[in-house]
Structure 1
Amino acid sequence: MKIAQIAPLAESVPPKLYGGTERIVSYLTEELACQGHEVTLFASGDSLTSAELVPCAEKALRLDPAIRDPIPYHLIMLEEVRQRSDEFDILHFHIDLLHFPLIRPFAHRTVTTLHGRLDLPDLQPFYRAFPEIPVVSISDDQRRPLPMANWAATVQHGLPLDILPFSPHGQGGYLAFLGRVSPEKRPDRAIEIAVRSGMPLKIAAKVDKADEDYWRDVIKPMIDRHPNVDYVGEVDETAKAAFLGDASALLFPIDWPEPFGLVMIEAMACGTPTIAFRCGSVPEVLEEGVSGYIVGSVEEAVSAVGRVGAISRAGVRRAFEERFSASRMARDYLDVYDSLMHHRMHMIPFPTEAAGAGVQTVA
């Protein structure tokens, strides 16, 4: 099968630091290529892949201080995709919604994985306007705000089994917070849980420009007040393995409808249990008492910290291998591709077609 993977340009594929979507695109691309498919990756020029790379920006936009507006670069990429679209059996987009008007003439050969939050009111009229575009959710909970969307499947994320080593002991004796410093991720809760449980906390997270005020006014003062809390900044893949593997538990104290939460399965790969708040995809990813604890309050989280020793780290790793491998993710997407290629879909005419043309049926 000839497959195009179209990635965001904010980070390289895979990302050098933070970047969940680009990381998943990398794992999927490499697994599909390993299985013998002809894969073309549209991404930033500093990406690393065994597939054919079509560089659509010199390097990851977030790491280029000269970049002010990412949209022109994504439009350049979409023009490259448009020119080459006939080369592929399936075009798999990971860039939210910019491409929807472009792909209407060949929507039956596309699928778009929606990696972000979908509970924003502006999205409902948009998806009503494009009812023929096939989309994939990364959890069942993610799709609840948009029942009108053309859902093809839910495909949960997966990781290569060897990407993060199993750590049987978690010998660091600390709690870990990994991700972004932002209000919805609630690092303030993580700090409170650590302080009340008497455990050290290490925070490995990036601070986006949009969250700099939150960092400066809320989180940094909390860190400064508590000597058991250490901010270590962003970590790369090598440092992440030790950071998660040495932790007694990962704290995932979110306060928003998290679409998936990649860090939970990264912790699982290391054998590290997760203590997560009951929001978004959490109940779909974690198994209570097997891969961690699902809680509803800071008090419940503090209690769970005292019980993480009862969870078998080997059992956490086993749950990861059974449910969240990259090979399973690739198989699920291949099922989606196959279904789309053999399913007759009703298509809304592209605006350039003759006025008055009816709904098309495309094989």
Structure 2
Amino acid sequence: MRIAQIAPLSEAVPPKFYGGTERVVSWITEELVRQGHDVTLFASGDSETSAKLAACTPEGLRLLGYRDHTASHLAMLHAVHKRAHEFDVLHFHIDLLQYPMFEDLYHKCVTTMHGRLDVPDFMPVYRTFTGMPLVSISDNQREPMPSNSNWQATIHHGLPSENCPYYPEAKGGYLAFLGRISPEKRPDRAIQMAIQSGVKLKIAAKVDKADQDYWDEVIEPMIHHPLVEFIGEINEEQKKDFLGNALALAFPIDWPEPFGLVMIEAMSAGTPVIAFRNGSVPEVIADGVSGVLCDTMDDAIAAVHKVKTMSRAGVRRHFETQFTAECMVKKYVAVYEQLIENEKTIIKMPRAGAFTPHYGDLNGSARPSLSAAAMPA
């Protein structure tokens, strides 16, 4: 297949620093190329890929100091639209701007929704442009969306198995907290888990400007306990040992997390996850197999002792069967093939504005249909 991957321009693909979406785009792109597909990546010029790179900015826009990325994304989308005839599938990983611009090409488009979907500001677009084929990264992520959204599938993220290699033994024996210091990530809960269970906690996290007050007023005063060590932000190479040597990953979130990459990174290393039952967590963690699901702090403290007896080999097996890049891309290819097959069967009609084809959900929640306006005379 000839596939275009359209990435955000904020960071390079893969990102040099923070950037979950760009990292996932890289994994999808590289696996598609490995499987023999003809892939073009629309991204920033400092991206690194084995696909054909269509550079749309010299560097990631954050590195260039851009505050508003709208204009650059519009220019990229214009370039994609001009070249759309070159591709069988256009796979978007940006938020909303492509919805109106590609309304005439929905039959070959799919958009992966990477963020939370309960933002009221975005709802007018979701309600108006219901024909855009969509992929969710968890079933829970879909819940705020209009009922007539054109879902194709839920496809959980997957990563290359070598990114976080298997560690058969937790040599460090500590709890790991990895990510951002922010109220919704609840590092305060992780600190309480460590202190009340008597197990050391290492925090590898960055503090964004938006969360500086939360750090200053809530978290910084808590990290001076002898069981708590704050490391700061770490890179991809450091992440391997950090996760692999941990007794467990503490994932005590307090918000509807759409997915949570760090959970599968930990599972790849064989490290179980202690996670609060919010958002996508119950879809990602197999309770008692790859981690422990918690509803209360008492649950979380008890889980610290429970994970000591869990099989790290079993955690890794769960990752290998569910969350590798190969597993993820196999499902995306199925979506692409369904789009292509549907394009062959859709009756070509002059655009009347009333007909937007819904191609059906590969998970079974919808089937292809044509409105009366689109039926043959």
**TM-score normalised over the length of structure 2:** 0.90
Q: Is the Cα–Cα contact under 8 Å of residues 150 and 358 in structure 2 kept in the other structure?
A: no
Shift of 1:347: 9.9
Shift of 1:232: 1.7
Task: Could you list the structure 1 runs, at least 4 aligned residues long, displaced by more than 6 angstroms after superposition.
Answer: 346-349, 360-363
CA–CA distance in 2 between the matches of 1:221 and 1:345?
61
Give the alignment's Cα RMSD to 1 decimal: 2.0
Residue 261 of structure 2 aligns with an amino acid whose one-letter code is L
Residue 359 of structure 1 aligns with an amino acid whose one-letter code is F
CA–CA distance in 1 between the matches of 2:346 and 2:112?
18
Residue 58 of structure 1 aligns with an amino acid whose one-letter code is P
Q: Is the Cα–Cα contact under 8 Å of residues 131 and 356 in structure 2 kept in the other structure?
A: no
CA–CA distance in 2 between the matches of 1:9 and 1:348?
35
Q: Secondary structure at the match of 1:48?
A: coil
Structure 1 residues 189 and 103, CA gap change in structure 2 (3 angstroms): same
Deviations 1:320-356 (A, max 9, x none): 111111111111001001111111569998xxx7xx6
- Look up the match of 2:158: 158
Structure 1 residues 347 and 130, CA gap change in structure 2 (3 angstroms): farther
Q: How many residues matched? A: 356
Structure 1 residues 362 and 113, CA gap change in structure 2 (3 angstroms): closer
Shift of 1:263: 0.7
Deviations 1:32-85 (A, max 9, x none): 001110101111111110001111222222333x32222222222212212211
Structure 1 residues 226 and 110, CA gap change in structure 2 (3 angstroms): same
- Look up the match of 2:207: 207
Mean CA deviation greater in 297-306 or 337-346: 337-346
CA–CA distance in 1 between the matches of 2:180 and 2:62?
14
Q: Secondary structure at the match of 1:260?
A: coil
- Look up the match of 1:25: 25
Q: Secondary structure at the match of 2:90?
A: strand
Residue 341 of structure 2 aligns with an amino acid whose one-letter code is H
CA–CA distance in 1 between the matches of 2:192 and 2:59?
38
Structure 1 residues 347 and 257, CA gap change in structure 2 (3 angstroms): farther
Shift of 1:235: 1.6
Residue 222 of structure 1 aligns with an amino acid whose one-letter code is M
CA–CA distance in 2 between the matches of 1:157 and 1:214?
30
CA–CA distance in 2 between the matches of 1:184 and 1:345?
44
CA–CA distance in 2 between the matches of 1:361 and 1:254?
38
Q: Is the Cα–Cα contact under 8 Å of residues 130 and 356 in structure 2 kept in the other structure?
A: no
Deviations 1:171-205 (A, max 9, x none): 11211111111111111111111121122211112
- Look up the match of 2:221: 221
**Structure 2: runs of 5+ lacking an equivalent:** 360-377
Structure 1 residues 314 and 86, CA gap change in structure 2 (3 angstroms): same
CA–CA distance in 2 between the matches of 1:314 and 1:16?
31
Q: Is the Cα–Cα contact under 8 Å of residues 16 and 237 in structure 1 kept in the other structure?
A: no
Q: Is the Cα–Cα contact under 8 Å of residues 138 and 155 in structure 1 kept in the other structure?
A: yes
- Look up the match of 2:240: 241
Deviations 1:218-251 (A, max 9, x none): 222222x323222222221111101100111000
Residue 244 of structure 2 aligns with an amino acid whose one-letter code is G
Q: Is the Cα–Cα contact under 8 Å of residues 104 and 348 in structure 1 kept in the other structure?
A: no
Mean CA deviation greater in 71-80 or 311-320: 71-80
Shift of 1:360: 6.8
- Look up the match of 1:185: 185
